[in-house]
Structure 1
């Protein structure tokens, strides 16, 4: 039986991991950034970018920008590098292995709360729904087709697999269960490998889990599982679920490059949002999904413009409520000034 981890041990592991990441980043930051130095001319700024991004459909926006030539038309040479995890990507930013990284907004906020010098330069994915019952989204909670679990409140007291404790998925589940009148503190959250989210449910190791797309839609279509609820937070349609991040030093030294990067990904988002044909084409060519895997896929909405402090406040309010952050950050401090 595949190993899973309960929430108490995960909290210890997550704390240790966060401390390790924080130390790595602060050591990297000790090299210093001379933000007072004269801004380099646009021609002298970095044009070759390695961008860490998820190899799943949530990384589709970046791949559309690459394959459609959005970056090359802006004189940028962008290479997508598969992220193992958002936490792994952050030290790579400060070491210079990556110039930009895609990460979920909560992981970014955690990094900032530790005093780490990273800021949002562009939106990647947006929450596609307001968390309504029966709506598909980029990820969801599923259970066996014959399970007695049929609603958010039925998750209370059950073992539910999530990517990790105190992440955006974990937080959003707690939010929609509480909004439905349940007590999310009584859910037994456990960490499960993303590739095994369906197998662990069908085997009975967990009673529900949270597959992402296109694994969720293909498994539902195959009759393996049923959708209980998507993993969107109630009322938060349009907030940035994931963002592109760079170090303050890189932003200060390469403002023209950063602006061109943001403009390019927003232009690509406008092309792919609502365009299943283009989304499927790029998902197959760049992410190596098969037509069968994508037959029923849900393609999330990608951001077409910069986020606002009010949108970030919606996320940080929940993060404080559920103990992910100890205090609410000033939203303006999370954003790069690249205008």
Structure 2
């Protein structure tokens, strides 16, 4: 996710939301703990769980803040510490080193890590809809993925969800990278598109598209079309654990999943209240301008959760399609069986 933003200050809080799901892995663990229990038991202690939130404090993590603030983790019987990553920290270094028990990342990123000998298992998918879209100026002649042929498109780099999304979008239109001019622009989507440096950018519908609206630039978003089987071959942001954690601490994993989904349900029911609670976790969120940006981000995020009855759900067809897609595109370093990459057994009975 990740949103390792190097954005202009004017982009503000909403722009920071992008970085947690797209940046390349660099650096060593240097995160900070932000919950009341931050100085508590180590991750290995019974009932103590460290959740890796893969960016600095940000409204994107509202379900976790709400679950913590309302005591949902305590009610579920787990002592949760929310650990935010530093801006240059790898997504999975801390969980691989035993410093975290649960990590928040894209299903595609977890799958790629699994192919690199980091045995991550997705235990819930928070975003039922993939959040990456193609963004073009409102008056652009590009109205479909096929229209991108011969045009320039900006992505932060050849990594993460925006890049995976670009490959899926091109594939659905029968195009390859050779048919377009792919520009690696860092996390400057708003500036690059506004200045006309590129004809289109790949970005997050609940971040970049929100930023453009906040800046007064009229844009259109184009979703990644489904493949021939009617499936978008990418899995969005969710919760992951190591195989060993799933096997040795199943009750703790299930408790974290259940409590987090309760938090997501509350965010969906009342985004404005979630912003108020998140102010205790996110610096400067007590400022009215930051609250307005945060609310716009959550309002764009809630539809990604899907129907309330399906919060956290895993879709076998999408996982299978993603394995096939990422294998075909050379994004996996080793073969991965889709059935080994995810599980629904930790989901609440109402979802599973």
Give the structure-1-normalised TM-score: 0.71
C-alpha distance in structure 2 between counterparts of 1:240 and 1:68, whole Å: 29
Corresponding residue of 1:7: none
C-alpha distance in structure 2 between counterparts of 1:323 and 1:86, whole Å: 25
Q: What's the offset of the Cα at 1:243?
A: 2.1
1:164 aligns with 2:164: no
Choose which of 112, 122, 125 in structure 2 pairs with 1:123.
125
1:272-328 per-position Cα deviation (integer Å, ceiling 9, x unaligned): 336444454456554434314534741243362441433311221221232213665
Q: What's the offset of the Cα at 1:255?
A: 2.1
* Aligned pairs (5 A) from 1:206-285: 206-212=198-204, 213-220=206-213, 222-231=215-224, 235-236=230-231, 240-273=235-268, 275-282=270-277
DSSP 3-state at the match of 2:143:
coil
Corresponding residue of 2:114: 112
C-alpha distance in structure 1 between counterparts of 2:161 and 2:208, whole Å: 19
Q: Which runs of 5+ in 1 are unaligned?
A: 4-16, 25-42, 129-137
Q: What's the offset of the Cα at 1:86?
A: 10
Q: Which is further off, 47-56 or 260-269?
A: 47-56
Tell me: CA distance 1:78–1:233, structure 2 relative to 1, closer, same or farther (3 Å).
farther
Choose which of 325, 328, 338 in structure 1 pairs with 2:332.
325
Corresponding residue of 1:152: 145
Conservation of the 8 A alpha-carbon contact between 1:45 and 1:253: no
Q: Which runs of 5+ in 2 are unaligned?
A: 1-5, 8-23, 29-43, 347-352
Conservation of the 8 A alpha-carbon contact between 2:47 and 2:79: no
Q: What's the offset of the Cα at 1:198?
A: 0.2
Choose which of 100, 103, 109 in structure 2 pairs with 1:101.
103
Corresponding residue of 1:204: 196
Q: What's the offset of the Cα at 1:144?
A: 3.5
Conservation of the 8 A alpha-carbon contact between 2:114 and 2:341: yes
1:74 aligns with 2:81: no
Which consecutive aligned stretches of 4+ in structure 1 deviate over 6 angstroms post-superposition?
none
DSSP 3-state at the match of 2:201:
coil
DSSP 3-state at the match of 1:323:
coil
1:190-217 per-position Cα deviation (integer Å, ceiling 9, x unaligned): 33333x2101111233222133323412
Q: What's the offset of the Cα at 1:338?
A: 5.3
Matched length: 295
